[in-house]
Structure 1
C-alpha cells in the first residue's frame, strides 16, 4: 500500500474519466433539483388552523434565531482552522490553498444542510399536523413527513457528491489531499451542530418533562408549560439540523477515505478516483425510488412501510453497483492481486447488507413491538430504578451485537481486499452511502412527526380522535427511525474511521520518506512503534477521550436543564393564571436560556476533539497516535450505540405506557418511564450522536498533522523541544476549557435557591 500511495503523482486521468466524473456532477445537480421539487410539494400542503400556525411560527422563529447565533459562533472556529490549514505542510502552494478553501466549502455545505433540515422541518411539522385532520390523514401525514426528510436527503447526497466531483475534476492526482480539507470542514461543523443542538433540545425536553409531567401532571406538550416551545424548537435544531449535518459529513468523509485509498489502489489510472464517485451516484437513483415508493397501506405499521422502501432501494443499489463494477473497472489492480470488479462488488454489497442488518438490529432493540422495549415498559410497574437498569441493560447488549456486526463487515471487506484491503473497507462504506438518501428521510421523519404532535396538542385542535392517534403512531415510529439512523451513522463512522486509519498509516510512510528515511527502515520503524508502550498509552487515552467527551455533553445538558426547571417552576408559582389557561407563559425566556447555555457549552468538547490528537501525536509520537485512534474508534462505536439504544428504549417504553399499558398515563408506571426517558434524552440525542463526527474529526486531524509530526521527529527539521511545546500547549488548552466548564457548573450549583427560583424567595 505504501508504494502505491507514494506513486500517486504518476496518476493519469483519461478523457473518459473526466467525462464520467462530469456525469457524476450532473447527477449530483439532478439530486438538488429533485430535492427542490420535493420541497415545493411539502410546502404546498395545507397549514391547518390559525392557532396551529401561530404555534408553528413561534417554533420557526426560535429555531432560526438559535442557528443564526450558532453560525456566528462557528464562523470564528472556521476562520481559525482555515488559517491553520494554510500553515500545515503540503506538496505545493496550490494543494495547500485548495485544502483550506475546500475546508470552508465543506463547512458551509454542512451548515447549509443542517439549516435546511431545520427550516423545512419547522414548516413541515405544521403541515403534518394539519394533514392528520383530513380525510385519508394517515397516508397524507406520513407522506409529508417522509418527503420532508427526502428533501434533506437529496440535498445531502447532491452537495456531498457534487463537492467531491468538483475536487476530482480540478485537482485529479492531488484530489485526495484537498478532499481532506473538504471532509474536515464537514465533520467539524457537524460535530458542533450535533453538540450544540443536542444540548439545546435535551435541556428543554428534560426541563419540560420534569416540571410538566412529573411535578404538575400535565401532558407533554401542554401549552401551560413554558418550556414547550423551546422543546419543539429543540427537536429541529438538534434532531433535524444536527443529524442532517452529521449524515452529510458521514457522506463526505466516507467519500474522502474511499478516494484517498482508491488513488492508492490504482496508482497510475483514474479508476480509484472515479469508481468511488459512481457508487454514490447510483445511490441518488435509489434514494429517489425509495422516497417515492414510501406509501402507507391500510392497517400496516408505519415502520414496516418505511423499512420496505429501504430494503427495496438497497437491493436496487446492490444490483446497479455490481453492474457498474464489472463495466467500469479493469481486470487487475496496479501491482496488486485480485479482480477489482469482484472485490468492489462484494465490498459494496457488504456495506449495503450492513445497513440492512443495523436497521433490523436497532429496530429490534428500540421498537415498541419487540421484546426489549416491552420488557423495559414492564419494569415500570416496580419504579424508576428498574426502568433505568433495564434500559441500560438493553443499551449494553445492543452495543455488543452491533459492534460484532460492524466488526464482521470491516473484517470481511479487509480479508476480501487482500493487498488493497483498506480500499475494500472504504468501498463497503460507499456501499452504505447508497442508502443515505433514504436514511436521512427516515431520520427527519422522527422530529417532524414529534413536532406535529406537539403543535396539535398545544393548539387543542387535535387533542383526541383519529387524528391524534395518527400523530401518536407516527411519533412512535419516528422514535425508532431516529434510533435506526443513529445506528447506521455510527456504522459509517467506523467504516470511514477505519479507512482513514489506513490513510494515516500511508501518510506517515510518505512523510518518513520525505524526511529522508530509507524505505528498508520504514517497516522496522512501524513494527517498533506498534510494540512500544506508547501505543498502549495512546489506546487508553483514545478510549478516555470518548468517555470525557460524552461526560461533558451530558453534564452540559444537566446544567442547562436545571436552569430550565428553575425558570418553569418560577413561572408556575409567580405568574397568576398559567394553570387555569388564562395567562400565556413566557416561552421566550426558556428559549433564551437554552440558546445561551448550548452555545456557551460548544467550545469545550470541540477543543477536546481537535487538540487531543494534536497533544498525543506531537507529545508521544506517531505510534501512540495510531493507538489513540484505535482506542477511540473501538470505544466510540460501543459508547455511541449504547447511548442511542438505551435512550431509544426508554423513550418508546414511555410511549407504551402512554398507550394504555401498565396503568397508562398519570400512573406511577408512567412517572417511572418519564424519569427513564429524561435520563435517556441526553444519551440518545446529545452525547451518542455527537460521537460519530467526533471520531472522524479526530481521524482527519491526525491525518492532517501526520507530516508535521514526522518532520519534527526525524530528519533535518527534527526539533524535540518545539514538538513537545506544541503538545504542552494543546494539553493546556484542553485543561483550561474543562476547568472553565467545571467552574460554570460549580457557580450554578452554589447559586442560592432564592436566586435561581424567585418563587422561593
Structure 2
C-alpha cells in the first residue's frame, strides 16, 4: 500500500469535530472514575484485614524486619535513579508533534502520572507483601495440623495480593478516566503519554527487580544447596535475606507494575481505536468494561476462600478466577445492550465523509453484539491460557513429572527436558493468542479499524480478571517468603512447615499462570497499539496532504508501502525479532554476572568464617543485599536504551513501513520467547519442589542437585527475561506511536529533511551500540584479583 493509498484511507480521527465526550457520556466517565477510587477503598480494607493477623515469634519478626528494610532500601534507590530518567523523557516528549502546546504539556504530564501510578502500584504490593509473609508463616505455625491453619494462611497470602490487584485496577482506570474527563475528544494523544510512562517504568522495575531476585536466588541455591548441602533458606546462607528481598522487589513490585502497565496500555489502545471506530461511544465503553472488572475483582478475591473438600490451594484460586470471569461477561453483556445502539448507523461522532467512517456506518451488524463477542474473546483467552499454563507447570501434571524423572540421569537431561517443554508450550500459547486475534479480525467484517478495535476490546475483556490475576501473582512470593522465614527462624515445624511447602508449590504455579496471561495481554495490547500506529501514520499523512505524497520518489514510496514482500520491510521484521533475542540475552547475562558475584561472596564467607557452618558466627547478609542492589541498578541502562532507541533508529533510518514490520517481528518473536522462558522456568522450579518433597530420595541426593541446577537456569528465564518482554513490546509500540508523526513529516511535505532523519537514526544506533558494548565489556568472571580456579568448591563438596 503506497503513501497515497494510505492518505485516501484517512481515518476518522483525522476528521474535525468528531467524538466529543459530553452530557450523559461524561457522566458515565465520572462514575467510572468514582468506581476506580472505590477500588482503592477496598484495598485499604484488605490491608487492615492482613495487618490484623498475628506476626509470630520474635525471631520471625526480626527476619521479616530485615527483609522489609532491604526491599524498601532497594526500591528507594531504584526510584531515585529512574526519577532522573523520567524527567529527561518528560522534556523529550514536549518536542514531538501534537495539536498544540496543551496536548504536548498534557502528554508529558500524564507520562509522569503513568510512571508514578506504576511505581505506587509496585511499591504498595511490595510494602504489604513484606509484612504479610511473616503473618502467613505465623498462621501456619499457630494452627498446627488442623485444616483451618492452611486455610487461614492462604487467605492472608491471597488477600495481600488482592491489595496489589485493587491498586492496579483502581489507579489504571482512574488515570485513563481522568484524561478523558479533562481532555475529552483530545484524550487519545494525552493517553499515549500516560501509557508510555506506565510501560517504561514497569519495564525498568521488571528488569531491575528480576536481576536482583535471581542473582540472589541463583547464588543461594548454588552455594547453599549444591556446594554446602544446606536448605535454601538456611540462616547460615549469606544470600538468603537477599533472596527473600528479591522475591518482593522482583515478583511483587515488578510484576504488579508490569500488570498495571498492561492494564493502562490496553486501555490507551482501546480508547484511541474506540474514538476512530465508535465515535463518542468509543471513549466511554472501553472504560465501562474495566469498571465492571473492578466489581468482579472484589468478588473474585473474596471468593478465594479454601474449603474442606478442595483438592489443593489451586482449586480455591481457580474458583475465584472463573467466578470473576463469568460475572464479568454477564455484566459486560448488560452494559453493552444498555449503552450501545443496535445499529452502527446510529453511532454518533463518526464522520461519514471519510472512507473508514463511511464503512463503519454502513456496516450491517449490531454494535452491542460486536462489543460483547470481542470482550468474550478476551475472557475466554484468559481462561484457556490459565489452564494451559497450569498443565505445563503444576506438580501434579505429566509435563513436570517427566522433568522430575529426568533428574535420575543428571542435570543435562533436566535442562533438556525443561527446554523442550517450554518450546512446545510456547507454540500452543502462541496459537491460542493468534486465534483470539484472528477471531477479532473476523468480527470486524473486513473493516480494519473495527477489527483492531475488537482486538483492543478483547484486551479489556481479558483484563476484567486482572484484579484476581495480580492477587494470584503476589500470592507466590508471599508464600515463598513465608516458607523462608519459617525455615530461617526454626519456629515452624511438622504440619505447619508442610502447609507452607504446599502453599509455595501452588505459588510457583500461580506465578507461571500470571506470566502466561500477562504475555497474552501484552500481545493483544501491542496488536491494538499496532493499529493505533497505523492510525497515527494516516492522520499525519492527511495533515501533510495528498499532494505531498504524489511527489515522492520510489525510495520514499517504498518506505510507506506495507507490502511484506518488499526487502526493506522484511529487514524491519527481522530486526524486530532480533531485538527480542538481544534484550533477553542482555537480561540473562546481567543475572549471570550478578549471580557470579553473589556466589563468590557467599563462598568467601563460608571459607573465611568457618563458624558460620556450626552456628557460632552470623553471616553478613547485608553484603549480598548490597551486591544485588548495586549490580541490578547498574544493569538497567542497556535494556532500557535498547527498548526506546531501537524503534527510533528503524523508523528514522528505514521509514514508516519497515517500522511497522519491526513491531510485527517483535510481537511474534516476543510471544514465543516469553512463554518459552516462563514455562521452562516454572516447570524446573516445581520439579525441584517435587524432589524436595521426598521423590527419589529428596534433598541431598544427586536427583535433587540436578533439579537445583535446572532451577537456577530457569530462574532468570521465568523471573527476569521472560516477564520483561511484556513491557518491552509495549514500550517499543508506544515509542513507534509517538514518533510516527515526526517520521512522516520529515519524509514528505514541505518540512521533509533527509539529513535530519539520518542524523537522528545515526545517533540512536550509536547509543545502542555503545550501550551493548559497555554491557558486554563487563566480565562474566568474578572474584578478587588473587582468586584462582583451584579455590572454587566442587559440586557436591
Superposition map of 1:549-564 within 5 A:
549-564=583-598
8 Å contact kept, 1:9–1:174:
no
How far residue 137 of structure 1 moved from its aligned partner, in angstroms, is 1.1
Shift of 1:520: 9.2
- 2:685 corresponds to: 651
Residue by residue over 1:201-244, the C-alpha shift from the partner in whole angstroms, topping out at 9 and shown as x without a partner, is 00000000000000000001000000000000000000000000
Find 1:108's aligned residue among 91, 99, 116. Answer: 116
- In the alignment, structure 1 residue 24 sits paired with structure 2 residue 32: yes
Q: Which one of 252, 255, 263 corresponds to residue 251 of structure 1?
A: 263
After superposition, the Cα gap between the structure-2 partners of 1:9 and 1:692, relative to the gap in structure 1 and judged at 3 Å, is farther
Partner of 2:386: 359
Q: Say whether the 8 Å CA contact 1:8–1:263 is kept in structure 2.
A: no
Separation in 2, partners of 1:154, 1:702: 30
Counterpart among 214, 217, 228 of residue 216 in structure 1: 228
Match of 1:174? 186
Of 598, 604, 612, which aligns to 2:646? 612
- 1:140 paired to 2:152: yes
TM, length-normalised to structure 1:
0.97
CA distance in 2, matches of 1:444, 1:756: 40
Instruction: Give 1:11 deviation, angstroms.
Output: 1.9
Identify the residue that residue 436 of structure 1 maps to in structure 2: 466
Q: CA offset at residue 529 of structure 1?
A: 5.5
CA distance in 1, matches of 2:489, 2:790: 29
Q: 1:318 aligns with which of 329, 332, 340?
A: 329
Measure how far apart 1:163 and its partner are: 0.4
CA pair 181-528 structure 1, distance change in 2 beyond 3 A: closer
Query: Is the 1:504–1:703 Cα contact (8 Å) retained in structure 2?
Result: yes
C-alpha distance after superposition, 1:330-357 (max 9, x if no partner) = 1233431121101100000110000000
Alignment of 1:656-675 (within 5 A): 656-675=690-709
1:622 aligned partner: 656
- Give the 3-state SS of the residue equivalent to 2:455 in structure 1: helix
Q: Deviations over 1:369-408 (max 9, x none)?
A: 1000000001001100000000001100100000000000
- 2:518 matches 1:498: no
Assess if the C-alpha contact under 8 Å between 1:664 and 1:670 holds in 2. Answer: yes
User: SS of the counterpart of 1:590?
Assistant: helix
Q: Tell me if the contact between 2:561 and 2:657 (Cα under 8 Å) persists in the aligned partners.
A: no
Cα distance between partner residues in 2 of 1:519 and 1:605: 38
1:366-405 aligned within 5 A: 366-405=393-432
In the TM superposition, what is the alpha-carbon distance from 1:524 to its structure 2 partner?
8.0
Give the CA deviation at 1:299.
5.0
> 1:83 & 1:755 partners in 2: Cα distance?
49
Q: Out of 662-671 and 56-65, give the one that drifted further.
A: 662-671
Aligned pairs (5 A) from 1:36-47: 36-47=44-55
Contact 2:12 2:18 survives alignment (8 Å):
no
CA distance in 2, matches of 1:724, 1:524: 17
Asked if structure 2 preserves the Cα contact closer than 8 Å seen for 1:566 and 1:756, the reply is no
Report the equivalent of 1:426: 456
User: By how many angstroms is 1:644 displaced?
Assistant: 0.2
Q: Is the 8 A contact 2:274 2:281 kept in 1?
A: yes
Aligned-pair distance for 1:298? 2.1
Contact 2:11 2:538 in 1 (8 A): no
**Contact 1:712–1:718 under 8 Å retained in 2:** yes
Residue pair 2:426, 2:675 contacting (<8 A) in 1 also: yes
Once the two structures are superposed, the pairs formed by residues 539-554 of structure 1 within 5 Å of their partners are 539-554=573-588
The question of 1:288 aligning with 2:298 is answered yes
Match of 1:709 in 2: 743
Structure 1 CA distance for aligned equivalents of residues 18 and 439 of structure 2: 31
Q: Deviations over 1:538-562 (max 9, x none)?
A: 0000000000000000000000000
Which residue of structure 1 aligns with residue 43 of structure 2? 35
Cα shift at 1:755: 8.7
Q: Tell me the TM-score normalised to structure 2 length.
A: 0.93
Describe the SS at the equivalent of 1:578. Answer: helix
- How far apart are residue 752 of structure 1 and its match? 3.2
Distance 1:28 1:149 in 2: 18
2:138, 2:395 → 1: CA distance? Answer: 26
Mapped contact 1:529–1:624 kept (Cα < 8 A): no
Q: Do structure 1's residue 347 and structure 2's residue 378 form an aligned pair?
A: no
Number of equivalenced pairs: 756
Give secondary structure in 1 for the equivalent of 2:105.
helix
